Each structure stands twice: as C-alpha cells, then as structure tokens.
Amino acid sequence: ERERRRARAPHPGVMSRASGKQRVCYFYDSDIGNYYYGQGHPMKPHRIRMAHNLLLNYGLYKKMEIYRPSPATFDELRKFHSDEYMRFLRHITPDNMGEYTKQMQRFNVGEDCPVFEGLYQFCQASSGGSIGGAVKLNKGTSDIAINWAGGLHHAKKSEASGFCYANDIVLAILELLKHHRRVLYIDIDIHHGDGVEEAFYTTDRVLTVSFHKFGEYFPGTGDVKDVGANAGKYYSVNFPLKDGIDDASYASIFKPVIGQIMQMYQPGAIVLQCGADSLCGDRLGCFNLTIRGHAECVRFVLQQKVPTLILGGGGYTIRNVSRCWTYESAVVLNEEISDDLPYNDYYEYYGPDYKLHYAPSGMENLNIPENLEKIKSKVFEHLRQLQPAPNVTMPAAPPPAAADEEDEDEDDPDVRVSQRGGDERQEHGAEFYSGRPGE
C-alpha cells in the first residue's frame, strides 16, 4: 500500500481534541525548494523552504504532526485535469520541448508558465500535500491541515495559467466532497481565484469567495456580478478591490462577508488560500496589508471551528512570504512567537532588521469606505438569494485518495470491499469528477 503518511511519527506534544487544542497536521516535501521556474521568474518555490526553516527554528514543528506528502498520482490528478494535459505535463522537459510546440500553445505553457526541470514532480508534490491534508480532515485525525506548497488557484482543467499547472485546491475540494455536503473556499490572494471558481461554478456544493484586485489586473475575472450559474447561481462570491487596501478596510469587509456566508451556508469544511501577494511590499502586488492584517483572516476563519485546510498561493517578495506563512502557522497553533527572528539557514534574507513583522507603506488606499459598503451590500444581496444550506443526499463515501490507509487493519475488510464495490463513484451532476464510473 502506498501511504499518504510517509511521515515522522506524530510528536508526543500533539494535543487531542479532548484537551481543547486543535489537532494540526502540516505537509512539507523537502525537495520543494529545489524546483526552479527559471532566471528572472517571480515564482520561487524556495520561499516554501524558507518558511519551513523559519518555523522549525521557532520550534513550531513540535506542536504539529509533520508529514511528507505522497506525490499525487496520475489518476488523482485526472480527477479534475484532462488526461491529455496531464500526459503532456508528465512528458515535457526542457530538453524535449522543441517537439511539443503545438501542445505548449494549446496548454498555455511557455511564457508565464515555463517548462522547467521536474515540473510534473512539482505538481505531484504540491497537489499531494493538499489532497493529503483533505484526507486527514475527512478521517477526523486532524482539525486543521496546512500545505504551504499548495494554493495554485489559476490552473484550469486543460491549461496552465498564472504560474499554476495543477490545481491542488480543486483536487483537495473534490476529496473533501466525499465526506462533506458543503465546502467553503476562501481566497485572500491579491489575484482572483479563477481556476477554483470556474471548476465549481455550476454546483451549490462548493461556495467560492474571492477578495482580489480587480480592473486591468490578472486574470481579469472576478467582477461582483459574477455569481455562479445553474445550480451554482449565487454560490460564487467576488469582492473586487482597488490598490492600497489596508488592514482595517480589509477586516471591515472580510469578517462580515465570511460571517454571513457561515450562517447561510454552514459548510462542513473550509479551504483557505493564503496567497501572500496581498501583503504590502509584494513584488507583483499593490495592496497594503501587514502580516498581522493578513493573518487576522486566518484567525477569523479558525474561529468558525470547522475542519480547515490552509494553503499557500502567490507571494513574490519571498522574505515576506516566509515571514507571513510562519506567523500564520503560529496563529493556527495559537502560539505567540517573538518578533526577533531566530537564527536560521536564510537569516541574511531578513536584514537589516531581522524582525518577523514590518510596517505598511504610506501608499494611498483607493478603497473608499462608501465604495466598500456598496460592494458589500451587493454581496449581501446575492447571499440573500441562497437557499438555506442545501441538503445533499450523501452517497456512501468513496474510498480516500489512493492512500492514507494506515488504519486499514482496523476495518472489517468485508465492509471495506463492499463499500468500494458498491460505490461506483456516485457523482453530483454538476461536479468535475472527470473519471469514468467506478474507476
């Protein structure tokens, strides 16, 4: 049996639910920082290694179960992505790309989304951590799962987009839908979470909400008027923003909107994409959030006390990305950590101050309160159209993704087999399980 675990044994310091402490698992592949998009490319997987090293040196690893993700298999990836696209990603390399010119155009690979050494393995690692986190939540062995290598929200069924190739978020949500009637997806990256919204645009089983810069900005989608379609009408929520939003303005919209959604939708699980390009000083971003302001969103989501998968995303000033995700890991663990950075492998990146937090810039906030109120009113108007939480009749839960079966011996094998045999992947009509029945 492949195991999703392939992990260190749980640390004895991990608290059980009985003690009132949330049980946190954390996925990290030690090869992740070696993947390189190429010279001058803003996306640097090295930032995930920097965040990992920082939280190790703060001692945060003692408070959570650390897992190395099993790479997502081809079959797992094709639960959302097309076979042709995944085959292409599996075979293309910098050496043979000359033979794939037509397909590179078709799958939007080459410019923003370059071919690099180990591209497919990178997708497997990123997606494996998010699927693995979803499996842990489904099994009830963790309350919160973290995968900072995930959150690649622009990838589409059959094309790469915005530095993203495989949509780990969609794959994780599909996994969560095996056990939860409703899943809430929240995106605080500066860019619209278009790939995730598109995947679930016509179903009411996933409500997507994205807070993002809108207007002459990538990817160009995410108008407040885009609300979903068919069974999914009003289950896509978009909050378009302008440059310079600060902590106070962001909290003034985020908390009421998420609070209202929680009340109306009552999700069984939440996926939170924590793209750090919404921080002030980002190389590609134009917001003015501090790390504390960004983390306040994480704190508020966790106060909902619903199983939560926490993912990375964008973030291009890498010393600030690693600061942010380290602090947010501490917030998840309810740990206070010092503003003085501990010595770590990348200490020189954090000079000249070597502090965890940094001040916002003096940039103007173009989001005036009246306009934010207007957009908030429109969003609330759409939310009022929601039916009370849809009550989906759940089929027998499908087996977990390829793997996390460390407790297999505890189950009655006959029950396990009959459940699988009778499952035939009963799908909700509007869902993107692109596999064949019973696969």
Q: Any idea which residues carry the catalytic annotation?
A: 154
DSSP string of 237-294? EEEEE-TT--HHHHHHHHHHHHHHHHHHH--SEEEEE--GGGBTT-SS----B-HHHH
DSSP string of 311-365? E-----SHHHHHHHHHHHHHHHHT----SBPPP-TTGGGGTTT-BS---------
Closest CA to 189 of 181, 197, 179: 197
Distance CA(159)–CA(86), nearest Å, equals 9
Please state whether beta strands 206-213 and 183-187 pair in parallel, antiparallel, or not at all (unpaired): parallel
Task: Provide the residue type at 434 as one letter.
Answer: S
Please state whether beta strands 269-273 and 236-241 pair in parallel, antiparallel, or not at all (unpaired): unpaired
Tokens for 366, please give them.
């173009």
**Exposed / middle / buried, residue 342 (Cβ in 10 Å: 0-12, 13-18, 19+):** middle
DSSP string of 406-417? TTGGGS-HHHHH
Tokens for 163, please give them.
């530095």
Strand order of the β-sheet with 65-67 is: 65-67, 24-27, 144-147, 308-311, 269-273, 183-187, 206-213, 236-241
